[in-house]
Chain A
Amino acid sequence: MNFPILSTLIFLPLISSLFILLSKEKTSNNSSIYISLFSSIATFFLSLFLWYSLDISTSEFQFVEEKSWINNFIKFKLGVDGISILFIVLTTFITPICIISCVNSVKVRVKEFLIAILILETFMIGVFCSLDLVIFYLFFEAGLIPMFLIIGVWGGPRRVYSAFKFFLFTLLGSVLMLVAIIMIYWLTGTTDITQIYEIKIPREYQNILWLAFFSSFAVKMPMWPVHTWLPDAHVEAPTAGSVILAAILLKMAGYGFLRFSIPLFPVASEYFTPLIFTLSIIAIIYTSLVALMQDDMKKLIAYSSVAHMGYVTLGIFTLTKQGIEGSIYQMISHGLISAALFLCVGVIYDRLHSRMISTYGGLVNYIPKYSFLFLIFALAALGLPGTSGFLGEFLVLTGTFQKSYLAAMLATFGVVLGAAYMLWLTKRVIFGVTNNSEIKNLNDINKSEILMLVSLAFLIIFFGFYPLPLMETFSVSVNSLINNYETAISN
């Protein structure tokens, strides 16, 4: 197939954002919203088509596009395999939801907001498509600009601090990755990862390069102790910003570990496994405890994200089939669940302008539809069997047991803590006594909110009962990832 489907996918949102920029309406923003919604849904269907036509029986990169970019040096190379396609579909699925949510929650500068979201979508899809380290870095970093503006312009009272912290933390982490990328170029003569897989990086360089990549991914993931930007960013970001941040931006790091750290530096990955295990376990237990103590709902969910990402890193570095598959599953499912939870918080925030848990209580008596959906998402977040959240954690723990009993037991303890903070949150917000008289006048969720939340709830439950579509897609790629890793280690 010669049609450049991946480039179309990447640049479609960008081009439609140009249309929005050129549209000249002053009073209403309807046409901007329709353009962005239409283009993002088109992108979603295009990505579904891509998933449908992807040959999942091979781990080769498909739909590869290659174009000379910087002379004899870097090629603009794109391609997808069973792992990246899922993240692309997740991105294109979450973006229209964000656009719908901003109809309710964004009141000022709607046009600019939509442009920022669409540009961000371009960069995010680019990250998951790129098969060249420099292109990857380019998209990875470029996403900072729209996200910085989304937090800073449309965010809450402490938005400036949060936006700066987000930007500088991430940038600081990634500059070392840039050094590593250039070093890889001088070591191997290419930045095309499929070629580097063949050439193999010399052992003596692997540790230092791995650490450089790690510094970037650990910040983005975020792993303890560099996770502190995440709660701030989440709390201050507008709903759509939080959703994108939790659902997609955090997944870039996990994807980065799978795509770059393990295949490029297998020896170092094995060497540093104890480090990752320690940090992940600390993240799981410590941030779960911190989450217990929050009185701000968004902060609570943000800390729970850090804990969930702890499972992801744990699973990836078990370097077993179950572990890695569980991590990917966990990332996709966390993408859906955290997006849904942040949307839920956004829904009541739009009505009462408070994120404090103490403001609410007894919502189930006044807005039952909302409460029902919230309950589903909270249960999914704590990993109730029958929701997608369960399967990921279960597989990760299975993988971990093969490597280390201690780690697995501590991580399992984290599951209990997860249940504690989520249930306690639900108890205080949805059930309990209503102290606030304003709650009695709350409107239940409107049609657009139902559309967003129900579609997410449907997927969460669907993938909880029927994981096969996802599992089948990435299973071959994960197998070859592990095979390559084991051959590299045994040599």
Chain B
Amino acid sequence: MINNLNIMLPEIFLSLSIFSILMIGVFIKKSFNIIFNLTSLIIIVTITIIFTSPNNEEKIFLDSFTRDAFSNYFKILILLSSLFVLNSSKNFIMDNRLDKFEYPIIILLSILGMFFMVSSNDLILFYLGLELQSLSLYILASIDRDNLRSTESGIKYFVLSALSSGLLLYGCSLLYGFTGSTNFDFIASELNKENTGAVFAMVFILVGLAFKVSAVPFHMWTPDVYEGAPTSITSFFAVVPKVAGLALLIKFMSIPFSNILLEWQTIIIFISIASMILGAVAAMIQKNFKRLLAYSSIGHIGYALAGVATGAISGYESAIVYISIYVIMNIGAFSCLYLLKKDGIYKENISDLSGISKKHPLLAISLLIILFSLAGIPPLGGFFAKFYVFVAVLEQQMYALAIIGLLTTVMSAFYYLKIIKTIYFDDSFITFDSTKNRIAQISIFASCTILISFFLYPSILNNLVDTLFIG
């Protein structure tokens, strides 16, 4: 057993580092800067550890923990996106006096939780990881505790999320009761359609997971939390937990529930279509940019779920490619929000963007690229994300899903165009402070460069993702 511990090396390293920087925080006053930089360092080191670790599938602790190409890919995605999200928001954190030393530590804790989620091969381990992540997220949502809306969003998120965790746990216990094991592989071999109780369990688990990725009809918390939480937290919420949630969903569908495909497929199709439609329709009337991004993220999860709904490896792969490109786009979009500072206050209404193309042409063109990419217009990265999903969907001859999905693309293009209209066609009122937020600028630049140049080598992500399901 001890010989195999290196399988968990990233998790072990991460937990030990968290405890050590916690100690630094306790004993050194005003340690936010040190801890913040250490956190970035820890993330980078963890990335290198995962990069150097082999990709072959290995399991330890009675097969409850897996390390394979799939989990490694997601861990790296989670770490990279956290690194960008965290660093580009540093100025924002300082300006809004959120510079408590716990902040980066809690983010690391939630990352640890996600690591266990994507690596778990057992109901208990998966639930522990999920709860570690969720508890960290509750705190993060209300981290600006003197702000009424931040606190409100934290409480709201906690109450709803606790409920969904309860349903999830109930589903897990049913699953254990009907199959006699908590191990994914064992459940997979035991499950079949005749096992009605297990199908019930599947529904409960799906509800819980849909809540975590904020898919309709379990999305109600998303707009409020996105709007209420400080922007730095919102950008984390919009990116990282979604990646982990989707990974977990794919894991559940492809391992324990692989034999009851027809049972869950209808549910996922419904969730996917509902998310796409609601995301497109509700976003049209939003005035707050963060709230709009919340609805847009609901829509995007709908597209990713359309890939999952195929129930085929190619579909899962397309969903993973989709979420990866989604991460790139959202990091860019949120980094733009960090540059909208006027007299020390960060603006977050769409009307504040009015005419910025005249005074801030670079910011405007970056937003243009990101928004057109979010809308899925070729030749930008977002188009390829949608393209791969629909290729996979049509491979399974799910024509209705594909057509509805593409029609909602047109609907959602409307509200992205509305923002572009505000940026480019309207008159300008505000000149934003010249910011020295280099890292946010670098994030935007990186995001735009990837989105523009994606068409030069569009199969780069597919090649990576193709290797994930071989094991």
Contact = CB atoms under 8 A, between A and B. Distances in A.
B379 A138 contact: yes
Nearest to B407: A175
- Which among A160, A171, A172 has the highest number of chain B CB atoms within 10 Å? A171
A182 B390 contact: yes
Given A71-B463, A186-B394, A137 B410 contact: no
A22 interface: no
A218 to B, nearest CB: 16
Contacts of B395: 186
B421 A164 contact: yes
B394 A164 contact: no
- Which among A148, A178, A183 has the highest number of chain B CB atoms within 10 Å? A178
Interface stretch (B28-36, B112-120, B454-462): B454-462
A152 B424 contact: yes
B403 A179 contact: yes
A183 B402 CA distance: 11
A186 B420 CA distance: 36
Interface stretch (A91-99, A139-147, A369-377, A438-446): A139-147
A173 B409 CA distance: 12
A100 interface: no
A159 interface: yes
A148 B395 CA distance: 33
Contact of B417 (A142, A164, A179): A164
Nearest to B409: A175
Interface in B409-464: 409-410, 413-414, 417, 420-421, 424-425, 455, 458-459, 462-463
A149 interface: yes
Interface of B is mostly: helix
A138 B377 contact: no
B399 interface: yes
B38 interface: no
A178 B405 CA distance: 12
Contacts of B257: none
Contacts of A70: 458-459, 462
Nearest to B402: A179
Given A167-B413, A167-B417, A179 B424 contact: no
A199 interface: no
Given A178-B390, A183-B394, A168 B410 contact: yes
Nearest to A134: B387
A185 interface: yes
Given A69-B458, A137-B378, A168-B410, A148 B417 contact: yes
Contacts of A279: none
- Which among A70, A73, A112, A160 has the highest number of chain B CB atoms within 10 Å? A70
A69 B459 contact: yes
A169 to B, nearest CB: 9
A143 B252 CA distance: 41
Contacts of B394: 179, 182-183, 186
B421 A160 contact: yes
Interface in A93-124: 112
A153 interface: yes
A476 interface: no
B277 to A, nearest CB: 15
Contact of A172 (B372, B410, B424): B410
Interface string B355-390: 001000100000000001000011100010001001
Contacts of B463: 71
B406 interface: yes
Given A142-B378, A164-B421, A185 B391 contact: yes
Contacts of A141: 377-378, 383
A15 interface: no
A235 B397 CA distance: 42
B314 to A, nearest CB: 11
Contacts of A167: 413, 417
A69 B457 CA distance: 7
Given A69-B458, A179-B394, A182-B394, A159 B417 contact: no
Contact residues on B (Cβ < 8 Å of other chain), bracket:
20 to 34
A175 B391 contact: no
B410 A175 contact: yes
A171 B459 contact: no
A116 B293 CA distance: 27
A160 B427 CA distance: 13
B403 A153 contact: no
Interface string B241-270: 000000000000000000000000000000
Contact of A159 (B387, B406, B414, B425): B425
Contact of A176 (B361, B379, B406, B459): B406
Nearest to B372: A145
A142 B380 CA distance: 9
B459 A178 contact: no
Given A70-B459, A137-B378, A164 B409 contact: no
A70 B378 CA distance: 15
Nearest to B457: A69
Given A70-B462, A142-B378, A168 B413 contact: yes
A20 B390 CA distance: 37
B402 A152 contact: no
B413 A152 contact: no
Contacts of B403: 176, 179
Given A69-B459, A153-B424, A171 B410 contact: yes
A142 B463 CA distance: 25
A163 B414 CA distance: 11
A14 to B, nearest CB: 11
B410 to A, nearest CB: 5
Interface string B326-366: 00000000000000000000000000000001000100000
Contacts of B459: 69-71, 73
Contacts of A145: 372, 377
A179 B406 contact: yes
B396 to A, nearest CB: 10
Nearest to A169: B410
Given A167-B417, A183-B394, A186-B395, A178 B377 contact: no
B408 to A, nearest CB: 10
A269 to B, nearest CB: 22
A271 to B, nearest CB: 21
A392 B455 CA distance: 38
Given A138-B379, A144-B377, A167-B417, 20 more contacts: A69-B458, A138-B378, A138-B455, A139-B379, A142-B378, A142-B379, A145-B372, A149-B424, A152-B420, A153-B424, A163-B421, A164-B421, A171-B409, A171-B410, A172-B407, A175-B407, A175-B410, A179-B402, A182-B390, A182-B402
Interface of B: 357, 361, 372, 377-379, 383, 387, 390-391, 394-395, 397, 399, 402-403, 406-407, 409-410, 413-414, 417, 420-421, 424-425, 455, 458-459, 462-463
Closest 3 CB pairs of A and B: A175-B406, A138-B378, A70-B459
21 contacts: A70-B462, A71-B462, A141-B377, A148-B420, A152-B424, A160-B421, A163-B417, A163-B421, A164-B414, A164-B421, A168-B413, A168-B414, A175-B410, A178-B387, A179-B390, A182-B390, A182-B391, A182-B394, A182-B402, A186-B395, A186-B397
